[in-house]
Amino acid sequence: MCMSHKIRCECGKETAEFTMRDEVLAPEVIKKVNCPACASADGHDAHTMLADNGWVIHYDMEVAELFAARMKAAGKVTPEYIFDEGYCTWAGYCPGDLKQAAIEKEEIVKTMKADPRGYVKKLMDWGQGRARRLSDAGWRKARHAV
């Protein structure tokens, strides 16, 4: 079971939603999050941070290391491993993705009664095109889905 956790960025303007694969890690593994507006203030430490399309996630790597065995990490746990393996990653492909996807999907659902076959095709095309579009925009998680 994966629960989502909302975390406000340091400047307070944005919120990112995260999921934790199998709830192996607690949300406290995230020290802080920076949106593109507040990301440049801290610089970048590749040992504790993951940058994704202007956003920066600051992980508490001491906490993460305590759970390395539960994450089935073969080697040293890195921010990339935590994020890419889904142990602490965006809910959806990027911050705000689930909300935006729901809005886009709602428009497609409106066509269901009038054209059921067309609805299924539109929905499939939308899902594939959306992942490609977000990947092209530079979102790390979407690149892995394409």
Cβ atoms of 65 and 77 within 8 Å: the answer is yes
Each residue's pLDDT tens digit, 72-91: 887 789 999 999 999 999 99
Mean pLDDT, the chain, whole residue set: 92
Each residue's pLDDT tens digit, 87-104: 999 999 999 999 999 999
What is the C-alpha to C-alpha distance for residues 40 and 78, in angstroms, rounded to an integer?
A: 21
Contacts of 85 (CB under 8 A, 6+ apart): 21, 71
Position 42 scores a pLDDT of 65
Structure pTM? 0.89
Cβ atoms of 59 and 26 within 8 Å: the answer is no
Instruction: Supply 37's token pair.
Output: 């507006």
DSSP state of 76: -
Question: Nearest Cα to 20, choosing from 36, 7, 35?
Answer: 7
